[in-house]
Chains A and B, each alone.
Chain A
Amino acid sequence: GFHVEVKEWNENNVTRWKTFKRQKR
């Protein structure tokens, strides 16, 4: 698979990685 990890936005500068896979509506 081709994975995407995105760093979620956080005002407290605490990073959290969120993994996505291919998703369809």
Chain B
Amino acid sequence: EWIEFAAACREGEDNSKRNPIAKIRSDCEENQPIVYSISGIGIDQPPYGIFVINKNTGEINITSIVDREVTPMFVIRCYARHAITNREVEPPLDLRIRVLDINDNAPVFSQATYMGSIEESSMETTLVMKLIATDADEPNNLNSKIAYKIVSQEPAGASMFILNRDSGEVHIANYLDREQYDRYSLVVRASDRDGAADGISSQCTCSIEVIDVNDNFPTLLQNSYSASIEENTLSSQLLMIQAIDRDQMFSDNWLAEFYFIGNEDNCFEFVTDSTNNVGILKVIKPLNYEQMQSLQLSFAVRNKAAFHHSIASQYQVIGTPLTIQVINVKEPPSFQPSTRIFYIPRDLSKEAMSNYIVGMCAATDEETGLIASNVRYLMGYDPSSMFKINAKTGELRLNKFDWSMLNVGKGFYKAEILAITEGIPANTATGTIVLTIQDDNDNCPVLSTDIRKICMSAPSTVLSAQADQPPKGSWTLRPIDGKTAVSTGVYVGDGTPDVGRWPGRGGTTTLGGGAIALMFLGALIFLLVPILMAMSACCDRCGYKARPVGGVGAGFEPVPECDGGAIHSWGIEGAHPQDQDVTSISVTKHAGSAGEIVESSVSGIYTNTRGGTAINTGMKETSGLETAVDYGRFPIYGTTSGYRKESVGGTLQEYREGGVNMAFLDSYFAEKAFAYADEDEGRPANDCLLIYDHEGIGSPVGSIGCCSFIGEDMDDTYLDTLGPKFKTLAEICLGKVVEPIPGVSATFPNIDSDLKLPPPGTTIIVNESSSMPPQVGSTTFVTENTYASGATLQPARPIPDPLLHGNVMVTETYTSGSTFQPPALTIDPLRASNVVVTERVLAPNSDLRGVLNIPDLTDGANVVVTERVIAPGSRLPPSLSIPDLADGSNVVVTERVIRPASGLQGSLNIP
């Protein structure tokens, strides 16, 4: 697979002036007759004939204008065959021709007009809509990079919306009030080349409706209202009250709802006319002037819809006074109650029946409430002429009586009496009389229904006969016109009859043993439930928590407080940095005689990015120390990216989210080759691209940096253009003898110098490892990790498998306190092969047991160096012990510097 596009042509231009654009040649042509041929899209596949080849010279020409949007790339398969036998003398070779993009396409919106809506009073930055424009030019190229911009807003004034220039998302920028403007219209422009002046633009419109919410209280025109009505009359429209509301008309946010504060007798009712928001006061129950001449009511108004949360707390129920004057009307007398029931004893003799006084049926004067004095009484409906009445007093007597009148009928006799006022006009009041037989069962209360009259019989089993005592025992319900019981039951404790079911005429309700058992069971449950609930609450208080079904670990785990439940993107794999400033050490590895140097300080070919948001562009020389300090200061740091010579598209965010964008890399290399060819003929066409990737998709595990060397074995002068670090790495890749970087001094720490050791409990760990040198021209991956730690001892990090990714892996780990300036560590590896360096600086009183973790290197070309500097202030000469190395390929160096004040007892165990 070719790494680069071998050749390029520009779309929309006549490229033939550059012919031949490429030549192929086989070494076999020196001693064999060779003919060359090509095939592929643009040659013998549509579009045909764009590329042709001189079969004898191998020169490839372009013949037509190409369109990148049609064919972004051509792959020419080149063949070299024997001129006579036609046998392929070389494996086919793919020559990729990249079509360079020109900005010949304008952004195209997905819609000409976008329609959207948003509620008023929404929070700022609320997303309203998202505009989408596409550009047919090359993806990941500036020609297709679209920037959005609001050109105008109607109605004009303060900008109510903000448009994200990159994403096309329209957000609220200001407080929206529908009552001010209920619709906005925006003209939006999309320009490619990221909005540059030379970009091509297109426009669309956005219509945004502001949706109403109930953020206005209804009000009334007046502070108080009054009305009057005659007594004993109803009104469907006693008063009309206009409500005013600024919310959207005819919506529930606008429609008023009137309600009374008072109105205990329910004589009045409000309804709202939804067409004009007028509240109509109705009188639904007659008023009695003699009882109340004036009513002082109060009412309030709200909306049918609930108030918006932004104003709901401000709503106060303020009653509006409403005075109702009742107008007196002259009323005729009346019988109160209008129906009276009289009983006659069953054992009444015939003699006694004559002139038997049934009772008094006097009419009442409505104006005074007393017995009417100016009326005369007459019998009205009395089919059997059973009664006679005293015309002046209303005394009712039996005229004649026949038991058959009751028995044949429904058990009672019904008649009407009249009370007629004297004078003109005469008013007549009518009363109803019901006569029935009094027997043992007639002592019970009488119930009245719409259908029939039912008499509740006296208790069949009377345990207490006192009138002021509640009845006990059983009861029977039966129609008043019959003896057949329709339901029976028992009296409960307070004398209330327990109404059983209604079995129908002639049926009787009885409770069986099963029903009693159910009742007992129900009572038991009522007793047990509170007890069990109390026990459960007690268990909670005692710390017992319910376990999820499915065993330990199933279900949700609670998010601890103060955690926020968010993912903490420390940006550092495998460590747990804290919010502390970190001072790192600059580690330099020297190859003594061979002069191999790999330093941790980063050469000035990239820029730093901090905090994960801001991007600092430009060239900036940073040392490893500076970098580490920065990382310590910004625990959640972003990736570091840098481009030599020129910046290209692709943002930090893209790398973070998508890992290494291979499309971007392709574009990068192509454009860089293009740019180099323009500016410097003698410039080597090699490149070093350092891309710090935040463990994105496809990047090596645990890495934040990748370095790719593209070189050709015929020309290695490009090494001189690299920074010292990557030059060294490239040289390792190429298998060259590595020379030390001038000016870089790295020695063991001088214990007599003013060495600032870290504070107690500080640990410095440096791990470096590298695998076997790669083959020439291959890719090198460099990983760098920087760790910050607190004041506690940190376990050694496992060294990553050097064989996993690429050919050289460098892992650097820094852990220190706030002020320590660590010394450089000089290592003399015998070979430029796998190197593992572990350095620890331990403070006094540290517990060193079990903290050292030197990897077991089974490979024969490994170097393990362990250095320890322990405790300041000591005058003890350093002791350096070098183990006897039977195998020359393995070197283990152990050095200890121990001073008297360290307090350590020499319990270190170093492999």
Q: Which residue numbers of A lie inside 8 Å of B, CB to CB?
A: 1-25
Q: Which of A8, A11, A19, A22 contacts B714 (CB 8 A)?
A: A19
Q: Which of A4, A7, A8, A15 contacts B78 (CB 8 A)?
A: A4
Flag if A2 contacts B21 (CB, 8 Å). Answer: no
B869 at the interface (CB under 8 A from A): no
Flag if B677 contacts A3 (CB, 8 Å). Answer: no
Flag if A4 contacts B779 (CB, 8 Å). Answer: no
Q: Which of B2, B25, B674 contacts A5 (CB 8 A)?
A: B25
Q: How many whole Å from B678's CB to the nearest CB in chain A? A: 6
Q: In the assembled complex, which residues on chain A have CB atoms less than 8 Å from the CB atom of B80?
A: 2
Q: Which of B89-97, B320-328, B465-473, B859-867 lies on the face that meets chain A?
A: B89-97
Q: Which of B3-11, B119-127, B217-225, B279-287 lies on the face that meets chain A?
A: B3-11
Q: Which of A2, A6, A9, A18 contacts B90 (CB 8 A)?
A: A2
Return the CB mask of B758-779 against A: 1 if under 8 Å, else 0: 0000000000000000000111
Flag if A22 contacts B23 (CB, 8 Å). Answer: no
Q: In the assembled complex, which residues on chain B have CB atoms less than 8 Å from the CB atom of A13?
A: 17
B160 at the interface (CB under 8 A from A): no
Interface residues of B in 733-786 (CB under 8 A from A): 777-779
Flag if B25 contacts A9 (CB, 8 Å). Answer: no
Query: Chain B contact residues: over half helix, strand or loop, or mixed?
Result: mixed
Cα distance A2–B95 when bound, in Å?
A: 11
Q: In the assembled complex, which residues on chain B have CB atoms less than 8 Å from the CB atom of A1?
A: 26-27, 90
For A3, the closest partner residue in chain B by CB is: B25
Q: How many whole Å from B861's CB to the nearest CB in chain A? A: 25
Q: In the assembled complex, which residues on chain A have CB atoms less than 8 Å from the CB atom of B95?
A: 4, 6
Cα distance A5–B673 when bound, in Å?
A: 15
Flag if A7 contacts B681 (CB, 8 Å). Answer: no
For A5, the closest partner residue in chain B by CB is: B23
Q: In the assembled complex, which residues on chain A have CB atoms less than 8 Å from the CB atom of B673?
A: 8
Known: A6-B22, A20-B4. 6 other contacts (CB 8 A): A1-B27, A6-B95, A10-B677, A15-B18, A22-B93, A23-B777
For B23, the closest partner residue in chain A by CB is: A5
Flag if B712 contacts A21 (CB, 8 Å). Answer: yes
Cα distance A2–B714 when bound, in Å?
A: 15
Q: How many whole Å from A24's CB to the nearest CB in chain B? A: 6
Q: In the assembled complex, which residues on chain A have CB atoms less than 8 Å from the CB atom of B419?
A: none
Which are the 6 A-B pairs with shortest beta-carbon distances?
A2-B90, A8-B677, A6-B7, A5-B23, A6-B22, A6-B6
Q: In the assembled complex, which residues on chain A have CB atoms less than 8 Å from the CB atom of B674?
A: 9
B20 at the interface (CB under 8 A from A): yes
For B8, the closest partner residue in chain A by CB is: A9
Flag if A14 contacts B681 (CB, 8 Å). Answer: yes
Flag if A5 contacts B22 (CB, 8 Å). Answer: yes
Q: How many whole Å from A12's CB to the nearest CB in chain B? A: 8
Q: How many whole Å from A16's CB to the nearest CB in chain B? A: 6
Q: In the assembled complex, which residues on chain A have CB atoms less than 8 Å from the CB atom of B1?
A: 24-25
Q: In the assembled complex, which residues on chain A have CB atoms less than 8 Å from the CB atom of B8?
A: 9
Q: How many whole Å from A11's CB to the nearest CB in chain B? A: 6
Cα distance A19–B9 when bound, in Å?
A: 17
Cα distance A6–B7 when bound, in Å?
A: 6
Q: Which of A2, A16, A24 contacts B677 (CB 8 A)?
A: A16
User: Given A21-B712, A23-B777, A7–B3 Cβ distance below 8 Å?
Assistant: no
Q: In the assembled complex, which residues on chain A have CB atoms less than 8 Å from the CB atom of B712?
A: 20-21, 23
Cα distance A21–B93 when bound, in Å?
A: 10
Cα distance A6–B59 when bound, in Å?
A: 10
Q: In the assembled complex, which residues on chain A have CB atoms less than 8 Å from the CB atom of B21?
A: 6-7
Flag if B22 contacts A9 (CB, 8 Å). Answer: no
Cα distance A15–B678 when bound, in Å?
A: 10
Categorize the interface residue count of chain B. 35 or more
For B711, the closest partner residue in chain A by CB is: A23
Q: How many whole Å from B628's CB to the nearest CB in chain A? A: 33
Q: How many whole Å from B128's CB to the nearest CB in chain A? A: 45
Return the CB mask of B12-44 against A: 1 if under 8 Å, else 0: 000001101111111100000000000000000
Pick 12 A–B contacts, CB within 8 A, sort by A.
A1-B26, A2-B24, A2-B90, A3-B24, A4-B6, A5-B24, A6-B7, A9-B8, A9-B9, A9-B674, A12-B678, A25-B779
Q: In the assembled complex, which residues on chain A have CB atoms less than 8 Å from the CB atom of B714?
A: 19, 21
Cα distance A2–B24 when bound, in Å?
A: 7
Flag if B777 contacts A9 (CB, 8 Å). Answer: no
Flag if A7 contacts B22 (CB, 8 Å). Answer: yes
Interface residues of B in 651-680 (CB under 8 A from A): 673-674, 677-678
For A16, the closest partner residue in chain B by CB is: B681
B244 at the interface (CB under 8 A from A): no
For B682, the closest partner residue in chain A by CB is: A16
Flag if B685 contacts A11 (CB, 8 Å). Answer: no
User: Given A1-B26, A23-B3, A10–B93 Cβ distance below 8 Å?
Assistant: no
For B24, the closest partner residue in chain A by CB is: A4
Flag if B6 contacts A20 (CB, 8 Å). Answer: yes
For A2, the closest partner residue in chain B by CB is: B90
Q: How many whole Å from B713's CB to the nearest CB in chain A? A: 8
Task: Report which residue of A4, A7, A21, A25 has the largest number of chain B beta carbons within 10 angstroms of its beta carbon.
Answer: A4
Flag if A3 contacts B27 (CB, 8 Å). Answer: yes
Task: Report which residue of B6, B90, B91 has the largest number of chain A beta carbons within 10 angstroms of its beta carbon.
Answer: B6
Flag if B25 contacts A18 (CB, 8 Å). Answer: no
Q: How many whole Å from B91's CB to the nearest CB in chain A? A: 7
Cα distance A19–B93 when bound, in Å?
A: 14
Cα distance A23–B710 when bound, in Å?
A: 10
Q: How many whole Å from A19's CB to the nearest CB in chain B? A: 7
Flag if A4 contacts B93 (CB, 8 Å). Answer: yes
Flag if B2 contacts A3 (CB, 8 Å). Answer: no
Q: Which of A11, A17, A21 contacts B678 (CB 8 A)?
A: A11
Q: How many whole Å from B672's CB to the nearest CB in chain A? A: 12
Q: How many whole Å from A10's CB to the nearest CB in chain B? A: 5
B100 at the interface (CB under 8 A from A): yes
Return the CB mask of B140-154 against A: 1 if under 8 Å, else 0: 000000000000000
Q: In the assembled complex, which residues on chain A have CB atoms less than 8 Å from the CB atom of B78?
A: 2, 4
Cα distance A11–B100 when bound, in Å?
A: 13
User: Given A1-B27, A2-B80, A4-B23, A18–B685 Cβ distance below 8 Å?
Assistant: yes
Q: Which of A2, A9, A21 contacts B26 (CB 8 A)?
A: A2
Return the CB mask of B703-714 against A: 1 if under 8 Å, else 0: 000000000111
Interface residues of B in 61-95 (CB under 8 A from A): 78, 80, 90-91, 93, 95
Cα distance A19–B17 when bound, in Å?
A: 20
Q: How many whole Å from B614's CB to the nearest CB in chain A? A: 33
Q: In the assembled complex, which residues on chain B have CB atoms less than 8 Å from the CB atom of A5?
A: 22-25
Cα distance A18–B677 when bound, in Å?
A: 10
Cα distance A16–B18 when bound, in Å?
A: 11
For B89, the closest partner residue in chain A by CB is: A2
Q: In the assembled complex, which residues on chain B have CB atoms less than 8 Å from the CB atom of A2?
A: 24-27, 78, 80, 90-91, 93
Flag if A23 contacts B27 (CB, 8 Å). Answer: no
Q: How many whole Å from B811's CB to the nearest CB in chain A? A: 24
For B19, the closest partner residue in chain A by CB is: A7
Q: How many whole Å from A13's CB to the nearest CB in chain B? A: 8
User: Given A20-B6, A21-B712, A22-B93, A7–B18 Cβ distance below 8 Å?
Assistant: yes
Q: How many whole Å from A23's CB to the nearest CB in chain B? A: 6
Q: In the assembled complex, which residues on chain A have CB atoms less than 8 Å from the CB atom of B100?
A: 9
Cα distance A8–B674 when bound, in Å?
A: 8
Q: Which of A4, A11, A22, A25 contacts B22 (CB 8 A)?
A: A4
Q: In the assembled complex, which residues on chain B have CB atoms less than 8 Å from the CB atom of A8?
A: 673, 677
Return the CB mask of B771-812 against A: 1 if under 8 Å, else 0: 000000111000000000000000000000000000000000
Flag if A10 contacts B678 (CB, 8 Å). Answer: yes
Q: How many whole Å from B805's CB to the nearest CB in chain A? A: 14
Interface residues of B in 96-145 (CB under 8 A from A): 100
Q: How many whole Å from A14's CB to the nearest CB in chain B? A: 7
Q: In the assembled complex, which residues on chain A have CB atoms less than 8 Å from the CB atom of B27?
A: 1-3
Cα distance A4–B673 when bound, in Å?
A: 16
